[in-house]
Amino acid sequence: MDSEINQEGFQVFPYLQGERVFLRLATVDDIPQIISFYQNNAAHFEKVASAKPHEFYTLEFWKNTIITSQQDYQNDKACNLFIFDLTNNIVGFINFFSFIRGAFHACILGYGLTETTREKGLMTEALKLAINFVFNDLNMHRIMANYSPTNECSGRLLRRLNFVVEGYAIDYLRIHSKSGLFHSDCS
């Protein structure tokens, strides 16, 4: 099921169902599981992102983040999805953000998966669902993704999804107080 308008004229949040995963925006009921997901995977995610501040792991932070995420979706600014396995456990996230409209119709893609579920095709399945939704339902024309060339797993994933390397961004991001080289890919 994709996003639609309900009888009151409000946009229904997307629910994307695959064979082994489903994707949706978070609700406040998900907060304990979200915090646990990020705490359990902190060391894994810190390989490619800066460490999170203490408040990132709090109920208040996630209440505000979920409200903002839902507003951003309704205001056509972003679509931040969590990936759930079929037993309703969070196994990853997919974020489409920095929506640009006008003639461009583009956004940036970010994603992450638990270390224990990597290399099993779950992210490929989830991204196929999400990318299809973003192109067809959100009317995007271009999705851009950046990854570190040392993250070979992300490189293979993006190539499998028909992203094309358009160049290298020197000193693009600072992770752990270090600048790095990043591929800039587009689909």
Q: Is the pTM of this model over 0.85?
A: yes
- Domain-located, residue 151: no
Domain count, the chain: 1
Q: What is the rounded distance in angstroms from the CA atom of residue 140 to the CA atom of residue 133?
A: 9
Structure tokens at 122: 């779950």
Measured at the CA of 113, the angle between CA 108 and CA 115, to 5 degrees, comes to: 145
- Domain-located, residue 174: no
Instruction: State which residues form the domain around 105.
Output: 15-145
- Domain-located, residue 159: no
* Residue with tokens 């978070």, as numbered in its chain: 26
How confident is the model at residue 175, as a pLDDT?
52
- Domain-located, residue 38: yes
- Domain-located, residue 115: yes
Q: What is the rounded distance in angstroms from the CA atom of residue 62 to the CA atom of residue 35?
A: 8
DSSP string covering 64-130, please? HHHHHHHHHHHTTS-EEEEEEETTS-EEEEEEEEEEE-TT--EEEEEEEE-GGGTTSSHHHHHHHHH
Three-state secondary-structure class, residue 42? helix
How confident is the model at residue 11, as a pLDDT?
58
pLDDT in tens, the chain (187 residues): 444 444 444 558 999 999 999 999 999 999 999 999 999 998 888 877 777 889 999 999 999 999 999 999 999 999 999 999 999 999 999 999 999 999 999 999 999 999 888 878 999 999 999 999 999 999 999 999 988 787 888 889 999 999 998 887 776 655 544 444 444 555 5
How confident is the model at residue 118, as a pLDDT?
81
How confident is the model at residue 171, as a pLDDT?
65
How confident is the model at residue 28, as a pLDDT?
96
- Domain-located, residue 154: no
Q: What is the CATH number of the domain that holds 84?
A: 3.40.630.30
